[in-house]
Structure 1
Amino acid sequence: MEDVVIKTSGLTKDYGKGRGVFEIDLEVHKGEVFGFVGTNGSGKTTTIRNMMGFIRPDRGISAVNGLDSWKESAGIMKHVSYVPGEIAFPALKTGTEFLKTQAKYLGVTDFGYMNHVIEILQLDPTANLKRMSKGMKQKTAIVAALMGEKEILVLDEPTTGLDPLMREAFLGLVREEKQKGHTIFMSSYIFEEIEAVCDRVAMIKDGRIIDTVSLYDLRHPAVKNFIIEFGEAGEKQRFLQNTEFSAESRDEKSLTVQCRTSQLDALFLSLKDCQITNLQEIHRSLQQQFMSAYKEGLAQNGNN
């Protein structure tokens, strides 16, 4: 497809003893915010390093903008801004010196957007690079990546070291990048932040993709689940006797009902003469989806 910006197929880097990544198939489309979620050590950084051309895969391919990640990594870097999972700065005294050096390397002459990011992240770039806290180093790396305003961003756990307020500020910057039409590939072990900004998410466990989900589909499932609490136990029993919906009792007066979106009107019609004290939709979180996919994988492997 013409709009595929990042693609891996059968990507494998085997370090032995089950470590590495195996048969990674990914497609990231132009203008998409694509999440890559998994626990620490699951293979997120190894996948990204292959994608950036820093390491050579044992098998399979990785390409960015149609360029082979290993063979044409120099060409890829012209289009990609990158925030690494482990930040190492050059031997410069202050953050300001580093950002000036980065601006010269990127050919940035208008510092308006750089100053905007600095303000949003509340960064003091005049601080000594070696004495910066982990959070300040992370902010500096984010500014250095975003200032080039390139069309592709690859972010490896970019909020590491940031406090909750700054995480939310960073997610606001991600939303700004999406509005510009930029493509963002972002890894994280924090499900909530991936769920907040991403269009699709690939889940990785032990070096293998276990599921890829659309966040729209997760938020708007074809089948919905509701908790319904009745005013009296008798009303609950009458509903159970007459309903065609899948229902499971929770306690004497409440139950869980499963219903397709096309049947919502019928469900609410069946409840119109009931005394309802609570009706609540159960929303499935990204973390719950991950755990479900993980357990399903264990079951398929005979380890349940």
Structure 2
Amino acid sequence: MSVIEVKHVTKDYGYGRGIFDVSFEIAEGEVFGFLGPNGAGKTTTIRHLMGFSKAQEGELYINGKDCWKSADIIKRDVGYLPGEMAFPKGMTGNNFIQFMAEERQIIDMSRTDYLKELFELDTSMEIKEMSLGSRRKLALVTAFMHDPKVLILDEPTSGLDPIMQERFIQFILAEKKKGKTILLSSHIFSEVDATCDRIAIIKEGEVVSTIEAAKLKNSTNKAFKIEFATNKDYQQFLSLTQFKIPVERPDQNQVKLNLTDETMQNLFIELSNVNINFISEIKFTLEDYFMDFYDRKKSVAAGEENLEHAIH
């Protein structure tokens, strides 16, 4: 059963800005990654799900409720963490937590106390005096304090230090085990890779790919770095190979190339005619998959940079 449904949603702000015919569904108990850089359309989609904006075309539902018509119910029931945080003026962290508890009719504050301890949050000071990281922790606590079954998280670890980012990932994995349905919007590959069951990539307001995380991790695509014994071997391989070479390092007699399981045998046949120092597999990552859709030139440049770091 789909808990979150986005059906052919368009909101055109002009000049190529907005979202265009965006569709995806999130099943009960699924963690769904929404991956893209800032400005790609992640937040716009989420604002429509939370009923802050009305779509020009298409429909959005959470638990069968229309996100625009039932916005008040959705805002109360869903655990929502906005990308851009705004808090009432003049409140301490304690004041804001109490305000949210009253809005949600929470009497037992034990879960809230647990979350404050987990994320090491001091709620005694005024919110305006808090650091960005502390304000993000406050938003996290209030998003999770009512133990919602559905969570919509927009750039949840923005402003958190690496220790808290890892703590958040472990917390999300624990929530996942409880059967929570989670939409996690992010541009951080490690965060999405560690938590999500499926991943949608959004580019310039359009969903360009949706993939199961397990299939990506078990991909038959492989990348290899090869160093040849001499420049003569290196040049001979380049002149004879049938493979496309995305990264060449002639000063180091090295190449990087991408293969599938089906083409690996052909590579080793070609390598039998030259001398090599080593061949090593480079793990295919979510970032590699993402960059295929976003900027192949940048992907190649990143490959060269990674190769140079590996060399030195």
Which residue is equivalent to 1:288? 288
Q: Do the aligned residues in 2 keep the contact of 1:94 with 1:129 (CA within 8 Å)?
A: yes
One-letter amino acid of the structure 2 residue matched with residue 287 of structure 1 = E
Which residue is equivalent to 1:299? none
* TM-superposition CA deviations, 1:59-99 (whole Å, max 9, x none): 01111111111112233235311011222222453111211
Return the alpha-carbon distance in structure 1 between the equivalents of residues 174 and 135 of structure 2.
22
1:198 equivalent in alignment to 2:174: no
1:156 equivalent in alignment to 2:154: yes
**How many pairs align?**
293
Which residue is equivalent to 2:24? 26
Which residue is equivalent to 2:306? none
SS at match of 1:175: helix
Displacement of 1:233: 8.6
Q: 1:278 to 1:178 in 2, by over 3 A?
A: farther
Which residue is equivalent to 2:140? 142
What TM-score results when the alignment is normalised by the length of structure 2? Answer: 0.79
* TM-superposition CA deviations, 1:33-72 (whole Å, max 9, x none): 1111222222111110111111110001111111111112
1:220 aligned to which of 208, 218, 221: 218
Give RMSD over aligned pairs: 3.2
One-letter amino acid of the structure 1 residue matched with residue 198 of structure 2 = R
Q: More displaced, 287-296 or 58-67? A: 287-296
Which residue is equivalent to 1:6? 4
Q: Do the aligned residues in 1 keep the contact of 2:81 with 2:139 (CA within 8 Å)?
A: yes
- Structure 2, gaps ≥5 residues long: 297-312
Return the alpha-carbon distance in structure 1 between the equivalents of residues 265 and 106 of structure 2.
56
Displacement of 1:13: 0.7
Displacement of 1:276: 7.6
Q: 1:56 to 1:278 in 2, by over 3 A?
A: same
Return the alpha-carbon distance in structure 1 between the equivalents of residues 51 and 8 of structure 2.
16
- Structure 1, gaps ≥5 residues long: 297-304
Equivalence map 1:136-285=2 (5 Å): 136-229=134-227, 260-261=260-261, 278-285=278-285
Q: Do the aligned residues in 1 keep the contact of 2:34 with 2:185 (CA within 8 Å)?
A: yes
Displacement of 1:164: 1.9
Equivalence map 1:27-106=2 (5 Å): 27-106=25-104
Return the alpha-carbon distance in structure 1 between the equivalents of residues 156 and 237 of structure 2.
50
One-letter amino acid of the structure 2 residue matched with residue 121 of structure 1 = F
One-letter amino acid of the structure 1 residue matched with residue 160 of structure 2 = L
Return the alpha-carbon distance in structure 2 between the equivalents of residues 63 and 130 of structure 1.
35
* TM-superposition CA deviations, 1:119-153 (whole Å, max 9, x none): 22111011112211221111101000111111111
